[in-house]
Amino acid sequence: MTHKLKNMAWALALMAGTVLAVSCSDDDDGPNADKTALQTTIDEAIELLETTEEGSQEGQYLAGAKEPLEVAVDAAEAIVASNAVTQVQVDNANVNLQEAIAEYEAAIIEPIAPANLVAHWRFDEGTGTTANDESSNGLDGTLKTGHEFWGAGVPSWTTDRYGVANKAIYFDKGANVEVPYNTKLNPQTMTISLWMKQDVNDPILNNQYMVALNRWNGWKLNMQADPKAFMTVKADVAGSPDPAYYDRDNADPILTQNSWYHVVVTFGNGHMIFYVNGVKVRDWDNTPGTAINLSAAPVNLTIGQDLPTNGYSLNEADPNYLNWGGFFVGRMDEVRIYNAPLTETQVVSLYNIEKP
């Protein structure tokens, strides 16, 4: 393992501190010190450093977390290499290194509400026609061509918010990702989270759909002409014979074109709450009930337009009339669905994990 040179001074200082802090005795001469346990811990630490990485994704470690462990490894290796250390010094070095390992392991980025995660499409594949679901539910999506009325757009792999090529998807002219209907995609309460970078906001097609489950007949998240995020949920309300249609937006701020935004909307417990870049921007407290169940007449979920391409109708009297729909123009990444409204703290954590 090649250690950072800048850590060597720290390692020597740490070793010197250990030597000065422990008094030698006649029964603790260096040549007889057993360093087996310390070497085992060193090997464990080196393997941990070599098989993990810092970053911002779940399962990675916080930036800067490796350096203290590298310093501790350097100090421990210096102890092993010395013939003038006592058994107490060796044992103390082993304890110090074990503590450094524990501190490093505590810096792992934990998943947000993993028990409530329904689906997570990272869009990291970079090739092919499958968008893998990173949750445990296996709700993979397929990249689909848009309706010919829109221009038959095809999804394309593109640069993400970090500037990395082929780690996001570009949508236009109805290009979409279609996910087969599953009741898990139709929870009673929910959170929708995604990153988006809108290219244009056509005043004629101002209903740019980002994610939808049967349009306004289920739930949908789109952009308005303002441009602001706009969410619709069709809900069953206790005591009411008819379903309610909740149309709400994020109020301020305006989400300008050609900029990446983290957009989160939660629905449940009588509230629909909008977050932009980790900040709560609007809390609508007049949305009681639960999202309507579509299992009797299921419709596949779409990312990039409001219905599956083959689900449109050219009949204006049909609820699936094509010209009432729309499609997104721009980039999207890290689309998540949860079956519960995330808390403000969880949304902030999610933003901090995923932000560039």
Share of the chain above pLDDT 90, in %: 78
The model carries a pTM of 0.78
* CA distances to 212, 216, 230, 251, 291 from 224, in Å: 15, 14, 6, 11, 22
- pLDDT of 56 reads 76
Reported confidence tier of residue 201, pLDDT bands at 50, 70, 90: low
Specify the higher pLDDT residue, 18 or 148: 148
Domains, the chain:
6-105 (1.20.1270.90), 114-354 (2.60.120.200)
Give residue 59's pLDDT band: very low, low, confident or very high (50, 70, 90).
Answer: confident
For the residues 13-40, what does the mean pLDDT come to? 61
Lowest mean pLDDT among 179-188, 257-266, 273-282, 322-331: 322-331
Which of 264, 221, 260, 274 lies closest to 350, judged by CA?
A: 264
Unique residue bearing structure tokens 């007949």? 217
DSSP state of 158: E
Q: Which residue shows structure tokens 């407290």?
A: 285
How many CA within 13 A on the CB side of residue 325?
A: 33
- pLDDT tens for each residue of 229-243: 999 999 999 999 999
Say whether pLDDT at 16 is over 50. no
* CA dist list (Å): 203 to 224, 230, 261: 9, 15, 20
Per residue in 270-322, pLDDT (tens digit) is 999 999 999 999 999 999 999 999 999 999 999 999 999 999 999 999 989 99
| Average pLDDT for the chain | 90
The pLDDT of residue 5 is above 70? no
- For CA atoms 251, 252, 258, 264, the dihedral sign is negative
